[in-house]
Structure 1
Amino acid sequence: MKRLRAICLLFLLCYCFLSAKAQYFDLRPNKKHVTIHFRIVRNMIIIPLKINNTGPYNFILDTGVGLMVITQPSLVDSISLTSKRIIKIPGLGAGDDAEAYVTPVLNVDIQGLDSYNVSAAILKTDYFGLSNYAGIHIHGLLGYEFFNNLAIKLDFGDSTLNICRPKDLHAYRNANKIPITIEDRKPYMQANIVYPNGKKIDSKLVIDIGAGHPISIEHMIKNNGLPQKFIAANLGIGLNGPIDGFISRISEVDIGRYKIKDVLASFPDDTKTEIVTSIPRDGNLGIGLLKKFDVIFDYTNNAMYLKPGFLYKEPYEHDMSGLEYYATGTDYLHVVISRVEPGSAGDLIGLEKGDEIVTINFRDVSKMNLEEIDALFKSKDGRSILLEVFHDNKYDQIILTLKRRI
């Protein structure tokens, strides 16, 4: 509760300090279209950019963020700020109040684009741990300013952003146009959610490509309870830190003319932490579902276009190890377990928080990325995987037998 309120206060304070002028990006005068290649890392869209002629830095595209956030505190010294304001955020840090910088206008250089009046918030402490989660250096989040003035096509097949001005947009042939609203600098849409009991609910969802899940449904536990089959989980990393809750399946999500079946759904635990949002909503539509499509965002005309992509028919599968883990050390070459789900495959063989995974099927994890490990751990129910782990100050070889939990 305290941290949620503090984050809301952070954004309120930052917004008050930021320039009153519109903050946006535009194509350079001699350009009508720009193509930018991105990386997908653990369901995060990452693009390179420079700030004040330094970098490049890795930023996550995040429609769920209303302002640019620099999550790597060391950038304060690297980007040569001419001045900066400090604001205090009560209750965010441990002990004393936390502090954040609000920058003056920055020169944000993205291939083929110019920035106008773009400022950022910089926390003095990295509360998010996005670099550890991704296994590569992550420096921040880029949201509303990137999307508000341009039409942006996301092609997950070839990992490209195709960008133009809205007047020059040619939507995909046979694409489904989905009406959206822009409220509090974020996009919202309506979707029908069909639950396992057959109940269909028209739901207002924030469109959040910075969220890795397919869909997150809020206020579900208090209002309706959980579906019959579920597992407890850390649902990811939000701006307020780790999100505790549950994962289950819902029968269907209907978006326009598309009906996506048997969808993995996240349910934040609203019995422990009150979910407070500036705009009333029912949930959050994440990249786990949107990456099934080629997507166009056109904020100017309150539209999103969807066309089925190469992942459209791929079924949803969840982790079968019961392990949550992160990368650490120089260049993030070590993988350490952060949580073991009780009763899971990992729990049954005695793995614990703090154990280090050294090799998987005789392959050193320093030669793997976290996505490869994720894919192995949700590959097949009953599959046996040989792990070498550093546990209780010694190296052990153990067999992990994957177990489908949801």
Structure 2
Amino acid sequence: MTRIIQALTGILLALTLAGAAPDGGPNANPDYNQFRFTDSTKRFTVVKFRFINNLIILPFSVNGSDSLMFVLDTGYGGVLITELQNNRVLTLNQARKVQLQGLGKGKAIEAYASMRNTFSMPGIVGENIDLLVAIDDIFDFSIRTGMVVNGMMGGGFLKNFIVEIDYTQKELKIWNPKYFRRARLKKYKLYDLELPDDKCFATFNVTANGKSAPMKFLIDSGLSTPLWVDIRTGTTIAPSATSIYSYLGYGLNGDIYGQVSRIPSIGIGGFSFKKIIAAFPDTAYIGSVSNLNNRHGSIGSDILRRFTVLLNYPEKKIGLRPNSSYRSPFFLDMSGIEIGSVLPGFPGYRILTVRSGSPAEKVGLRVGDQIVSVNDKLAITIKMSELLEILNGKKGTTIHMEVLRDGGLVKVRFVLKDVI
């Protein structure tokens, strides 16, 4: 029997309630949570992706729906739907409420756990897929990317394939392992992977501050910044004297704060990086999470995008090959504001966060201010990627900005400054 059981914030669910509800744990049936080629003789398929705010965004159909957009997150194992457009109906199978706990200081959130769902994209199908549907939009992906994003697709999507991520061409080349050309491996520097619960971990030898030691990292394509380090693990990477305390991002259970520092020089797995931005989360925001798999930190997409990345889950290998962005500088937002879309899919932006002590705070910009113009150009004529480039521009650049606040127009001027 199928019926509408609840209207959620931005989500309208039709749940098929036949059979037993899922228990939220891993399913031992080998036919569950499997993606495959619809044509078993196909060698590979190429999938174009959107790349916004250092996030890979891919289209999938769920149970025959129109395309939904998912962030590819190798730091997560499953599938999580965080939002749908208003009045959209999504049919899910066998669902019940569960509690989710993750990074952030907030309380556990409620979600629906559903099983035996079908995902598809051209040439690929996923059958008997378990997924979670968050009752509230916890990540604001759509606001932060400027387009409608419906959730996260984790490493379970990758486990039956060999995948090459080409950040320069913005495409995934998804190989049937039977037909993968082994000669291609010569292009990459290869490392071993650990894949507990389909999450992607790798250990690299790291050199920093005159010390060298192996460090275990979560390879996290859903983390838009370069590097997170857990200071509790006593690693060779430590904050510099000029670090600042800042907003780092958003976790499953709320915002995350910590130290941000620029590391003069660091070697990771034989690759060297200069003036890299590293974040050191405050233990108050991560201390309640017990399942960190003994990792020292996370490598995010601002490092990964500097390579063509080979993910070979069947043989537990990751390959890295530098691309044209390898030597590009690492930027910390020099304005001090994080922006988001007023209405995803349409131009128009508001301020989500303001960093303490930043140029933006010093001229009085506030959370919630709606941006009207930047450097005499109307905000509605600027793409989000262009606006981010302006705010991450050259140190010393003067920014003229008009914002709407409480029905009135406020004009400010500030100079971009590298605070670390």
TM-score by length of 1: 0.88
Paired amino acid for 2:213 = I
Say if 1:63 and 1:272 are closer, same or farther in 2 by CA, change over 3 A.
closer
Partners of 1:222 and 1:272 lie apart in 2 by 18
2:210 corresponds to which of 198, 209, 212: 198
Of the structure 1 ranges 155-164 and 249-258, higher mean CA displacement relative to structure 2 is found in 249-258
Offset at residue 128 of structure 1 (A):
1.6
1:116 corresponds to which of 127, 152, 171: 127
Partners of 1:367 and 1:104 lie apart in 2 by 43
1:52 corresponds to which of 49, 63, 66: 63
* Kept in 1: contact 2:101–2:252 (CA 8 A): no
Say if 1:92 and 1:192 are closer, same or farther in 2 by CA, change over 3 A.
closer
Q: Which residue of 2 aligns with 1:230?
A: 243
Of the structure 1 ranges 14-23 and 35-44, higher mean CA displacement relative to structure 2 is found in 14-23
1:208 matched to 2:226? The reply is no
Of the structure 1 ranges 85-94 and 375-384, higher mean CA displacement relative to structure 2 is found in 85-94
Paired amino acid for 2:303 = L
Deviations 1:214-262 (A, max 9, x none): 1100135988973211122221222333221121122444343322232
Q: Which residue of 2 aligns with 1:139?
A: 150
Partners of 1:336 and 1:268 lie apart in 2 by 26
* Kept in 1: contact 2:43–2:180 (CA 8 A): no
Partners of 1:97 and 1:267 lie apart in 2 by 23
* Kept in 1: contact 2:163–2:173 (CA 8 A): yes
Offset at residue 349 of structure 1 (A):
1.3
Q: Which residue of 2 aligns with 1:372?
A: 386
* Kept in 2: contact 1:73–1:122 (CA 8 A): no
1:366 counterpart SS class: helix
Offset at residue 265 of structure 1 (A):
0.6
Deviations 1:350-403 (A, max 9, x none): 112222211111222222232222211121111012111113531122222111
Q: Which residue of 2 aligns with 1:14?
A: 24
Paired amino acid for 2:124 = L
1:180 matched to 2:193? The reply is yes
Offset at residue 48 of structure 1 (A):
0.9
Paired amino acid for 2:222 = G
Q: Which residue of 1 aligns with 2:13?
A: none
* Kept in 2: contact 1:191–1:254 (CA 8 A): no
Gaps of 5+ in 1: 1-11
Deviations 1:270-313 (A, max 9, x none): 14541634211100011110110001100111101111111011
2:67 counterpart SS class: strand
1:189 matched to 2:187? The reply is no
2:308 counterpart SS class: strand
2:25 counterpart SS class: helix
1:356 matched to 2:370? The reply is yes
Q: Which residue of 1 aligns with 2:7?
A: none
1:102 matched to 2:113? The reply is yes
Q: Which residue of 1 aligns with 2:300?
A: 286
Partners of 1:94 and 1:277 lie apart in 2 by 14
Deviations 1:68-103 (A, max 9, x none): 111116699622235422235699999998532111
CA RMSD of aligned residues (A): 2.9
Paired amino acid for 2:370 = E
Offset at residue 17 of structure 1 (A):
7.4
Deviations 1:94-126 (A, max 9, x none): 999853211131121112101122121111111
1:166 matched to 2:177? The reply is yes
Partners of 1:254 and 1:105 lie apart in 2 by 44
Say if 1:247 and 1:93 are closer, same or farther in 2 by CA, change over 3 A.
closer
1:218 corresponds to which of 230, 234, 254: 230
Identity of matched residues, %:
28
1:156 corresponds to which of 152, 162, 167: 167
Q: Which residue of 2 aligns with 1:26?
A: 36
Offset at residue 140 of structure 1 (A):
0.9
Offset at residue 155 of structure 1 (A):
0.4
Say if 1:327 and 1:125 are closer, same or farther in 2 by CA, change over 3 A.
same
Q: How many residues align?
A: 394
Say if 1:13 and 1:74 are closer, same or farther in 2 by CA, change over 3 A.
farther
Deviations 1:174-220 (A, max 9, x none): 3211111112321211123334x433332110111111111100135
1:380 counterpart SS class: coil
Partners of 1:262 and 1:137 lie apart in 2 by 34
Paired amino acid for 1:178 = Y
2:136 counterpart SS class: coil
TM-score by length of 2: 0.86
Partners of 1:359 and 1:378 lie apart in 2 by 16
Offset at residue 57 of structure 1 (A):
0.8
1:129 matched to 2:140? The reply is yes
1:180 counterpart SS class: strand
Say if 1:333 and 1:15 are closer, same or farther in 2 by CA, change over 3 A.
farther
Deviations 1:127-151 (A, max 9, x none): 2211111111110111122111100
Partners of 1:91 and 1:191 lie apart in 2 by 25
From the two aligned structures, give the one with the greater helix fraction: 1
* Kept in 2: contact 1:73–1:125 (CA 8 A): no
Q: Which residue of 2 aligns with 1:256?
A: 269
* Kept in 1: contact 2:105–2:285 (CA 8 A): no
Gaps of 5+ in 2: 1-21
Paired amino acid for 2:153 = L
2:360 counterpart SS class: helix
* Kept in 1: contact 2:233–2:296 (CA 8 A): no
Offset at residue 18 of structure 1 (A):
9.0
